[in-house]
Amino acid sequence: WTWLLSVTWHTLLCEFSNCNTKTWNMHIYFHFRACNLKYISIQWEKPRCYGSAHITGYRIYIDGICEAVNGPDQMIYNYTTGKFCTEYSFQVQAITDNDLCSKPSDPLLVKWPGVIPPTVRQLPSDTNSSLKVGWDIPYTTEGIKIKHYKV
């Protein structure tokens, strides 16, 4: 149950300024590396730094909320608490030793694969001794195929 999705690169232009150093820029390139029923994994390259600041970590935002802080050499993040068929927005922000932070990157949108169970409803029956139920075709993503239904 693993799907490798096409790699989409996003660029984060980081602008830092400090009264003791010049304003400088760096780029963080990030993409998702895996997306399956158990996790979504994103990865980025270590940016080149200019000036006196050194990267001390990365903040990972999911839907605008800081979910994790990685160390300076941890450039992979695995998100494991998502829900089926839900789209998530990932952003990465660099942190420096001078308490400066880059702007968060442009959002990377990834949809968690899966199936949303349909609502079961009672259908009119021809006899009093039977119960007839029905449901709509479940919503699925990423080519998931339904083999059978269990009631």
Cα–Cα distance, 53 to 37 (Å, whole number): 39
Mean pLDDT of the chain: 78
pLDDT value, residue 129: 78
Residue 4 has pLDDT above 90, yes or no: no
Residue 27 · residue 92 · CB < 8 Å:
no
The whole-number average pLDDT for the span 111-131 is 83
Indicate the pTM of the whole model. 0.70
The whole-number average pLDDT for the span 41-67 is 87
- Residue of 52, 54, 32 lying closest to 41 (CA atoms): 32
Cα–Cα distance, 133 to 125 (Å, whole number): 9
- Residue of 49, 72, 48 lying closest to 59 (CA atoms): 72
The whole-number average pLDDT for the span 84-92 is 93
Beta bridge partners of 83: none
Residue 141 is which amino acid? T
